[in-house]
Structure 1
Amino acid sequence: MSSPQRRLILVSPHFPPINAADMHRVRQSLPYWSDLGWAAEVVCVDPRLVNAPRDEFLAEILPSSVPVHRVGGFDLRWARLPGLGTLGIRTLRSLRKELLDLLRDSGDGTGCCVYFSTTQFIVHSIAPELRRRFPCLALAMDYQDPWVNTYYNENPQVPKPGGALKFRFTQAIARRQEPRVLRAMNGITAVSPAYRTMLSQRMPWVEDKAWLVLPFGGAMSDFEALQNLGPAQPFFDPHDGFEHWVYVGRGGSDMSFAVRALFRAFRQAKQRQPDLDRVRWHFLGTNYAPAEKTVATIRPIAVEEGVGDWVQEVSVRIPYGSALRCMVDADALILPGSNDPGYSASKIYPCILARKPLLALFHRESSVHDILQRTGGGLGIQFNARSSTDEIARQVSQQWMESEDRQRIPATDWTAFSPYTDRSMTEKLSSFLDSLCQGL
């Protein structure tokens, strides 16, 4: 007789058909939980309350066997009022009630786990109440981004998200709530080991918690689904005779060093490699703000470097299915990195899975370089705080612009890549959550 399944409640306010970066951990894990001994279900927010792009492709590829509980809250009309602009605040009461209702018959919580995986940090504040009511409930949270964020204070030249006043207010709340929430948690997952170091410096007792460093995985099944369900993309014609280099993901001031080095290398190499004149750069979905507030952060640098005519930037967030289609249609993929050493780009995995020539320009401490070295999935070039733009531009020019690598499909070691797949990442997460339940 097989052992009974443990119960797992995944809290992810953003969820398909909403296209938001912080829901992919939960979305990608759903096909595997049952085989791993869990009865999983999702708690999310009704998409009508979410001010974010939709992507029906994401909804179509969800497994039908996993229950999804969608809660209500204050609708988007209330988002204009001070304090109600954030989805987590507008739906916090409904999310709390749904979790309490789902756990009502669980006794002291034995055999159950609630996993918060969202950058709507206010939602984590439900955890202390769950701990009080269900003392044997396993609780875990996912650090995809820092909750208390020191990056903007350390880099004052970078504009603060939402403006200085709003940022100061949200950080004051975060500094008050973060310790309370973390004390309630049995375990913590993080996309980067830097987050553990950062938290431990402020709260040494956090080291006593169970930890798992877990990047997002690469979903091979997404590319397989793309063949049957995937939409076309409207951004470039892959058969127009040009060589299309594509980046899909956010931009921002923290990427300006890498982007500038890329464009400077391109301008200089074009003088020696006339065929580079056929290259067209496409930076897509570079800003997560609503369409009416989005700003370009990449093309202005291209203009400054004298290559603006070769560069397209679509700053509005694009559908996930279209993003995958652009990667498949590209002649090469370009991945500029942040100057933040702790930044871990989960988009490296779909870039490798797209099976295209790949150039990644990242801080030397980024995990991206280790992944590329282990798998052979592309070319990685490193920089650090002491690197000069001209120095890195020369490396990019020599190793990519004037090399056959820019037109060569990487000889990826797929056996070495297997630990980075969504299935493997979910297996690691399952073992971690299981250990939390056993420890109660």
Structure 2
Amino acid sequence: MEQNPGMRKILIISPHFPPSNLAGVHRARLFAHHLPAFGWQPIILTVHEKYYEEKLDWNLVKLLPSHLQIEKVRAIPVKPLRIVGDIGIRGFVPMLQKAIQLIRKEHIDFLYIPIPSNYAALIGRLAHEFTGIPYGIDYMDPWIYRPSHSLRWFSKAWFSLRLAHVLEPIAVKKAALITGVALGYYEGVIRRNPHLQKNCVLAAMPLGGEQDDHECIGTLHSRPYLFHKREDKFQLVYAGVMWPPAFQPLERVCAGIAHDESIRRQIEIHFIGTGKTPDDPQGYQIRPIAEKWGLWQQCVFEYPARIPYLDVLVHLQAADGIFILGGTEPHYTPSKVYQAILSKKPILAVLHQASTAVQVIRESGAGIVLGFNGEAGLTQIEQQFASSCADFLAFARQFNPNQVNRTVFERYSAREVTRQLALALEEVFRRKT
């Protein structure tokens, strides 16, 4: 890409990047797409796809800007012997070396690292020590989190969490910018490192939806293949990972369905890409709960393996509605809600009542929400889900996507989210002068 004299340069370290099919790649992809409109020339630093463990999705590469500069490095392979899996560890040294080289050669103005992989955040601190580059860390998930259950001593998760308590303060100590998909994703970081409150810029930027992605589907001529249209069933789709705080609400949803024969006869919920790992077709997490309540393959279905991103959008468009499930923690952002709006489908949501998505759905007229008050409100889900579902089916019969108040969602577009990032970057440099 030719340098525009009026543009600053930003190096984005994203160890996974298209053709990786992991959900996290879209954060860096969409930033790279829209940053030039706000005066920033992006350069992507990633690990070469031959070192990825997940299946590759080459259609994602078609969504990248044609002139985007992408730098790829090697990593420790996982075959024939898998010593470590995390791409941020396997590619850490090559990414650090390449980052320092690019900072000096390309005269990079800012270094930005979306996490996970969490370990890649340390590259920002080290690159700053070597070159003086200002850097920022973007939290797509909390690095340090409250486990949903007691961790077994000396287990992998136990070690990872304790290591996080050591490494995160090192990574963020000299950060000039801390961002996240919602305040709840990084407020713990600020609480544990209070100097950041005055020493760096803070910004919450939700995951953005991209209209162009949905329009691209038509050029691929793809059809849904996980389920087929049924006239006697209202088919809902939940697409994406299941995070631990959502399992208790899911249990109550299944209990509510099991206790109402009418709802069981009318709906199907298809869970896509909800498995324990991205590529394991047998990594069921929804199925055991559905079987417990006698719903499996009657009205609850699960396809554990992650499917290509554009195929997900095809299935969203083929569905009658979108099912959104939050957790006992309120930190659920409306990114999936925006994807549902772009798919022009009505939404049935079960969310913590403190989630910002609740107000967004209700104000926009995009769907029906059953709000609950964390763990204390789980019984409420079981008692009220059937009636909420009946209300939703009545709502869906008269749903007109053109009547949804889309202005409510404007701040969740990828372009607007990137504009928020650009404003935060401007504030970083304003403080430096």
Provide TM-score, normalisation by structure 2.
0.91
Alpha-carbon separation, structure 2, partners of 1:65 and 1:386: 48
Q: 1:40 — aligned with what?
A: 42
What SS does the aligned partner of 2:349 have? strand
The alignment status of 1:312 with 2:301, answered yes or no, reads: yes
How do residues 348-427 of structure 1 correspond to structure 2 at under 5 angstroms?
348-385=337-374, 387-402=376-391, 403-409=393-399, 411-427=403-419
Unaligned regions of 5+ residues in structure 1, if any? none
Of 112, 126, 129, which residue of structure 2 is paired with 1:115? 112
Q: 1:4 — aligned with what?
A: 6
Alpha-carbon separation, structure 1, partners of 2:374 and 2:87: 36
The alignment status of 1:132 with 2:129, answered yes or no, reads: yes
Contact 1:116 1:141 in 2 (8 A): yes
Instruction: Give the residue type in structure 2 aligned to 1:428.
Output: Q
What SS does the aligned partner of 2:238 have? strand
Q: 1:341 — aligned with what?
A: 330
Of 13, 19, 24, which residue of structure 2 is paired with 1:22? 24
Give 1:230 deviation, angstroms: 5.8
Change in 2 beyond 3 A, CA 1:332/1:165: same
The alignment status of 1:261 with 2:258, answered yes or no, reads: no
Contact 2:353 2:371 in 1 (8 A): yes
Q: 2:149 — aligned with what?
A: 156
The alignment status of 1:198 with 2:191, answered yes or no, reads: no
> What do residues 398-427 of structure 1 show as CA deviations (whole Å, max 9, x unaligned)?
232254024343531122221110111011
Contact 1:252 1:297 in 2 (8 A): no
Instruction: Give the residue type in structure 1 aligned to 2:140.
Output: Q
What's the C-alpha RMSD, in Å, of the aligned pairs?
A: 2.3
Alpha-carbon separation, structure 2, partners of 1:217 and 1:203: 28
Alpha-carbon separation, structure 2, partners of 1:168 and 1:406: 45
Instruction: Give the residue type in structure 1 aligned to 2:313.
Output: L
Q: 1:104 — aligned with what?
A: 104
> What do residues 157-185 of structure 1 show as CA deviations (whole Å, max 9, x unaligned)?
6x78xx96212222232222211211121
Instruction: Give the residue type in structure 2 aligned to 1:398.
Output: S
Q: 1:93 — aligned with what?
A: 93
Unaligned regions of 5+ residues in structure 2, if any? none
**What is the total number of aligned residue pairs between the two structures?**
424
Give 1:283 deviation, angstroms: 0.7
Alpha-carbon separation, structure 1, partners of 2:53 and 2:303: 19
Instruction: Give the residue type in structure 2 aligned to 1:131.
Output: H
Contact 2:366 2:404 in 1 (8 A): yes
Alpha-carbon separation, structure 2, partners of 1:386 and 1:133: 47
Instruction: Give the residue type in structure 2 aligned to 1:124.
Output: A
> What do residues 310-362 of structure 1 show as CA deviations (whole Å, max 9, x unaligned)?
22111111211111111000011111111122243632221221111211101
> What do residues 241-262 of structure 1 show as CA deviations (whole Å, max 9, x unaligned)?
5432111111254222322232
> What do residues 255-312 of structure 1 show as CA deviations (whole Å, max 9, x unaligned)?
22322232233333334x6xx5253221110025153485222122122222222221
Give 1:239 deviation, angstroms: 5.5
What SS does the aligned partner of 2:91 have? helix
Of 257, 271, 274, which residue of structure 2 is paired with 1:286? 274
Q: 1:430 — aligned with what?
A: 422
Change in 2 beyond 3 A, CA 1:231/1:44: farther
Instruction: Give the residue type in structure 1 aligned to 2:273.
Output: G
> What do residues 11-33 of structure 1 show as CA deviations (whole Å, max 9, x unaligned)?
11111110112221111122222
Q: 1:213 — aligned with what?
A: 204
Q: 1:170 — aligned with what?
A: 160
> What do residues 186-212 of structure 1 show as CA deviations (whole Å, max 9, x unaligned)?
010011212343123322222222100
Instruction: Give the residue type in structure 2 aligned to 1:246.
Output: V
What SS does the aligned partner of 2:94 have? helix
Provide TM-score, normalisation by structure 1.
0.89
